[in-house]
């Protein structure tokens, strides 16, 4: 039977997340959001995450779909592919979320509610608004990098967002269509910044709700030097409206 509730699709990019993915789907099944769907976008993970995703699609208590891609192509590309598929399949709200359990699934109901009851075009699960936090031990290097990245992009692009690089967000489908997600090219942290920049440039509002961010317990971050370099250049590229390649 068709549900009257908005269709909420959680898009989860995965690369080597076989330990984390079943736990994440389990958590999502328990948050009590009606008409919740999960779309896993796997880039042919060598650890077999794609097979784990297929098993979840067959057995999970909530609808799980899998988009298999042939090779590792970056987080941004995976999100673009996943978001376009979610929109194609009628999502009203699209949630972006990491697979590594660093983003608290329990906050999704509040994010969806905030979208429904305010003029927010997108709601960010934010570490840096009052009530937000980073749990566990982040080394000084990671803290400094995150603080610097936020100061840097806000200074250049005037986004006025406390957690501009956050990867946990709930979008109205209409916002994603308006910002033309298909044309977004940046791939690492810069992907999040470019999405925010397009939202603000189109005169739409970003709202942040606090989250407690957990450091991943299993697997490793895929952040590379190339991702950091892209993030350093991207705000200038956006400011001057040009592509740097
Ligand atoms: N399909 C696919 N998934 C990927 C790829 N690279 C990373 N992922 C997936 O994307 C999610 C985040 O990847 P991490 O490598 O754990 O990201 P991070 O460096 O910890 O960065 C996080 O924090 C940043 C700062 O807040 C965010 O900007 C970023 O989006 C992410 O949330 C994980 O689910 C990971 O498996 C890829 O090339 N392809």
Q: For residue 245, what pLDDT band results from cuts at 50, 70 and 90? A: very low
Helices assigned H by DSSP within 118-216 = 140-157, 173-178, 189-201
> Are the beta carbons of 216 and 136 closer than 8 angstroms?
no
- Please tell me the total count of domains within the chain: 1
In a domain, 214, yes or no: yes
Domain membership of residue 245 (yes or no) is: no
Mark residue 237 as left, alpha or beta (left: phi above 0; alpha: psi -120 to 50; beta: remaining).
alpha
Confidence of residue 11 (pLDDT cuts 50, 70, 90): very high
pLDDT value of position 243: 46
Please indicate, yes or no, if residue 61 is contained in any of the structural domains: yes
* Cα 54 to middle of ligand 1, angstroms: 20
Max intra-chain CA distance, the chain = 51
Residue 2 within any structural domain of the chain = no
Q: How far is the CA of 2 from the centre of ligand 1 (A)?
A: 33
Residue 214: CB within 6 Å of ligand 1? no
Phi, psi of 180, deg, nearest 5: 55, 65
Asked whether residue 3 is assigned to any structural domain, the reply reads no
Cα–Cα nearest to 196, from 133, 150, 148, 132: 150
User: At 61, which CATH number?
Assistant: 3.90.550.10
Angle between helices 189-201 and 75-88 (to 10 degrees): 50
Give domain status of residue 178, yes or no. Answer: yes
Cβ-Cβ contacts under 8 Å for 127 (sequence gap 6 or more): 133, 134, 146, 163, 166, 210, 211, 213
**Spatial contact of 74 and 115, defined as CB atoms under 8 Å apart:** no
pLDDT in the model for residue 244? 43
| Atom of ligand 1 minimally distant from the CA of 166 | 26
Task: Show the domain range for 226.
Answer: 8-240
Mean pLDDT, the chain, integer: 92
Does 218 fall in a domain?
A: yes
């Amino acid at each position: 039977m068709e549900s009257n509730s908005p269709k909420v699709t959680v898009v989860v990019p995965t690369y080597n997340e076989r330990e984390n993915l079943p736990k994440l789907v389990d958590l999502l099944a328990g948050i009590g959001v009606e008409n919740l769907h999960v779309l896993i976008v796997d880039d042919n993970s060598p650890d077999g995450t794609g097979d784990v995703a297929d098993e979840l699609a067959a057995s999970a208590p909530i609808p799980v779909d899998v988009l298999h891609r042939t090779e590792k192509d970056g987080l941004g590309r995976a999100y673009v592919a996943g978001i376009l598929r979610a929109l194609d399949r009628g999502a009203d709200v699209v949630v972006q979320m990491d697979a590594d359990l660093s983003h608290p699934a329990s906050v999704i109901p509040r994010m969806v509610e905030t979208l429904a009851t305010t003029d927010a075009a997108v709601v960010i699960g934010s570490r840096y608004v009052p009530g937000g936090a980073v749990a566990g031990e982040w080394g000084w290097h990671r803290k400094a990098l995150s603080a610097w990245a936020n100061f840097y992009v806000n200074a250049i692009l005037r986004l006025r967002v406390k957690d501009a690089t956050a990867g946990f967000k709930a979008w109205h489908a209409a916002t994603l269509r308006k910002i033309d997600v298909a044309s977004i090219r940046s791939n690492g942290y810069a992907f999040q910044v470019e999405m925010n920049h397009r939202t603000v440039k189109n005169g739409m509002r970003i709202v942040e709700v606090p989250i407690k961010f957990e450091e991943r317990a299993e697997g490793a971050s895929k952040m590379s030097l190339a991702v950091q370099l892209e993030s350093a250049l991207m705000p200038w590229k956006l400011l001057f409206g040009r592509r740097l390649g």
